[in-house]
């Protein structure tokens, strides 16, 4: 990253997601790319009813399933609560919560962004409540893939950092 890493905290809302998942080696970039490609192809075919106007897609690792050799990686898109995703997609409720994140201008900057978030958590005494999460926002340059990289977090005692806001507006990271 060319600019200093700034770590912010915003509240991610609870969201219903249509998603795909795979068990991958932790550094399996090509396989993760194929999973994103499957999601994109499914979106083009299924044309799901969009559930958010600010979040285009989410990628996340399920930490509870992680081993040194494999991680469960999910990629998904927000959908309306009344939408039934056609197979092979599955649906889940993404829990939302306080999200410590750092912006990456492109996917090549993601490792630095996640490192900045982990450092900030240690400095501030926060604890991670999730595995790594990638939030892709809507934007107009199709050659770029900006992403907010972060973790759901809590105070050291496990308490909430930010109060729930509901679904009244776009995410603070999209404003």
* Domains of the chain: residue spans and CATH: 7-167 (3.20.80.10)
> pLDDT, tens digit, for every residue of 68-77?
889 999 999 9
Alpha carbon of 165 to those of 13, 50, 70, 73, 89: distances in Å? 8, 20, 35, 28, 29
Dihedral sign from CA coordinates of 113, 39, 56, 80? negative
Confidence of residue 165 (pLDDT cuts 50, 70, 90): low
Residue 174 has pLDDT above 50, yes or no: no
Report the chain's mean pLDDT, rounded to a whole number: 85
pTM of the model: 0.84
Q: Tens of pLDDT along 2-51? A: 455 899 999 888 999 999 999 999 888 899 999 999 999 999 999 988 88
Judged by DSSP in three states, 156 sits in: coil
């Amino acid at each position: 990253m060319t600019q200093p890493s700034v770590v912010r905290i915003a509240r991610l809302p609870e969201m219903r997601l249509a998603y795909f998942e795979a068990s991958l080696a932790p550094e399996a970039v090509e396989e993760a790319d194929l999973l994103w490609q499957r999601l994109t192809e499914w979106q083009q075919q299924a044309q799901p009813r969009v559930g958010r106007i600010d979040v285009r897609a989410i990628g996340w690792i399920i930490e509870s399933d992680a081993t040194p050799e494999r991680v469960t990686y999910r990629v998904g898109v927000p959908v309306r609560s009344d939408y039934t995703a056609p197979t092979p997609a599955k649906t889940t409720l993404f829990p939302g919560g306080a999200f410590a994140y750092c912006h990456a201008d492109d996917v090549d900057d993601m490792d630095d962004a996640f490192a900045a978030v982990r450092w900030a958590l240690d400095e501030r005494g926060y604890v991670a409540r999730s595995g790594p999460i990638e939030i892709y926002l809507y934007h107009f340059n199709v050659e770029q893939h900006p992403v907010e990289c972060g973790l759901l977090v809590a105070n050291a005692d496990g308490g909430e950092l930010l109060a729930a806001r509901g679904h009244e507006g776009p995410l603070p990271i999209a404003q």
